[in-house]
Structure 1
Amino acid sequence: MTIQRMDNVGVVVDDLAAVTAFFVALGLELEGEATVGGPEVDVLVGLEGVRCDMAVVRTPDGHGRLELMKFHAPAAPTADRDAPVNAFGLRRIMFAVEDIEAVLTRARSHGAEPLGELVQYGDSHRLAYIRGPEGLIVALAENLG
């Protein structure tokens, strides 16, 4: 047996609407929204009394998805939303973009802040790291070839 594909990455958030709007502004598409809970979900995730709203956003090519989740119950523990990019754990999501300047402008309109500066690597790529809503780190890469 081998892994067939990566289906999605789950991201727990507090303000589901703001985070969804941020990723849509970056160019992802809203695939769907749902509320989940009940005994099956409790058993699956190892928690009791789960009630969770979720939104799934996908890349335009349909191959990458983020499952954005707002847990109403049980209450989520607090997290360090200002953790640096070198902190342990899943730290960033990278997207290939066509016009990095335009994407950065849209991201800033949703509260994103640059972590550093836009960098160009020779004639091949331009890269930028930003911190979006709730401290989420997103990397953007524009292929110049």
Structure 2
Amino acid sequence: MSLMATLQRGENVTLSDGTVLEGPLRRPGRKLVILGDTYDPSPITSIAEDAHILIHEATNAYLPGIDPGTKSSDIFEVVEERTKSRGHSTPQMAGLFGKRIRARKLILNHFSARYAGNDDVDERAGEVMTAIRSLAQREFGGEVLCARDLMTVDVALDE
């Protein structure tokens, strides 16, 4: 096992019969940060910094004129406080955390069940997801995706 550790560090190992095993070239890894339900991810800031991808829930959003479930008494602050009280985040909160940790890409997930997510079938769902993505993007400033079931995302190696 100590030989394996040496090889994993990219170093060469010479076996007792003279065979030289060359450790693989070292290459940079990729950093993915995946958060579950959270209204305050600050405790993991230091280990999340410079993530290639941040996956962050965005359960509720203030979407007047887009989300028919928006109450007439709702304002952004009320929706955000209600969301936090239930242990969740808004798209803006996800965007701000992504910016704070200097993530390269933000993927939003865990949307409220009242947001129909199948935008291939339902045009209204596409409008809702576009609005949610826009809210996060304003705060994040980088690429934001709204996750879908069975979605795949390539994470390129650094050159």
TM-score band, normalised by the shorter chain? Answer: under 0.3
TM-score, normalised relative to structure 2: 0.26
User: As a proportion of its length, which structure holds more strand?
Assistant: 1
Indicate the structure (1 or 2) with the bigger Cα radius of gyration: 2
Normalising by the residue count of structure 1, what TM-score does the alignment of the two structures yield?
0.27
